[in-house]
Amino acid sequence: MKTEAKLFLFLVVFFLIVTPVYAFMTWRAGALEPIGTTALTLTLLFSAMIWGLLFLTGRSTGPRPEDRAEGEIIEGAGTLGFFPPTSITPFWSTVAVMVIMLGPVFGWWLTILGIGLGIWVVCGWAYEFYVGDYKH
């Protein structure tokens, strides 16, 4: 995880430098350009969030075999984790978010409908392994 964390740390430092420079340059040009400044700020925050996750995970789990120079291929053998089978739930979660986002455009009633659909999707995701073919 060290390599991945270093890559995102580079992005954090880069956007930490670029974002204020961009905001200052657009402000000096006459009008602060809010969309670009917001996009750069959000990119900085998202990069920092991913860097923090990778840093904390790498610190708590220790070095992986691929992070060490003397690591062997056989050290990475074994169970890699639990991977759920195919599911339709991500599709319905996307539909719920889409309906919620279309609410301000076409009417707030659509947002309420999307929130109801979202509650149904979250319940389906939570109980995905308790019903149907994959219950245990």
Q: Give the pLDDT of residue 43.
A: 96
| Boundary residue ending a domain (76, 107, 125) | 76
Residue 134's pLDDT band, with cuts at 50, 70 and 90, is low
Q: How many CA atoms lie within 13 A of 88 on its CB side?
A: 3
Residues 66 and 12 in one domain: yes
20-59 confidence digits (pLDDT tens): 999 999 988 777 788 899 999 999 999 999 999 999 988 8
Q: Give the pLDDT of residue 39.
A: 94
DSSP string, 49-114: HHHHHHHHHHHHH---GGGSTT--GGGG-S---------SHHHHHHHHHHHHHHHHHH-HHHHHHH
Distance (Å, rounded) from C-alpha 19 to C-alpha 36?
A: 9
Which tops the pLDDT comparison, 92 or 84?
92
Q: Which domain, by its residues, includes 35?
A: 2-76
Residues 6 and 55 in one domain: yes
Cβ neighbours of residue 130 under 8 Å, at least 6 residues apart?
A: none
Residues 60 and 93 in one domain: no
Residue 81 lies in a domain: no
Cβ neighbours of residue 79 under 8 Å, at least 6 residues apart?
A: none
Q: At what angle do helices 89-106 and 108-126 cross, to 10 degrees?
A: 170
87-122 confidence digits (pLDDT tens): 888 999 999 999 999 998 998 999 999 999 999 999
Q: Is 78 exposed, middle or buried (0-12, 13-18, 19+ CB in 10 A)?
A: exposed
Residue 67 · residue 3 · CB < 8 Å: yes
| Residue with tokens 């789990």, as numbered in its chain | 61
Which tops the pLDDT comparison, 7 or 3?
7
Number of independent structural domains in the chain: 2
**Could you tell me the pTM of the whole model?**
0.58
Residues 71 and 115 in one domain: no
Residues 62 and 96 in one domain: no
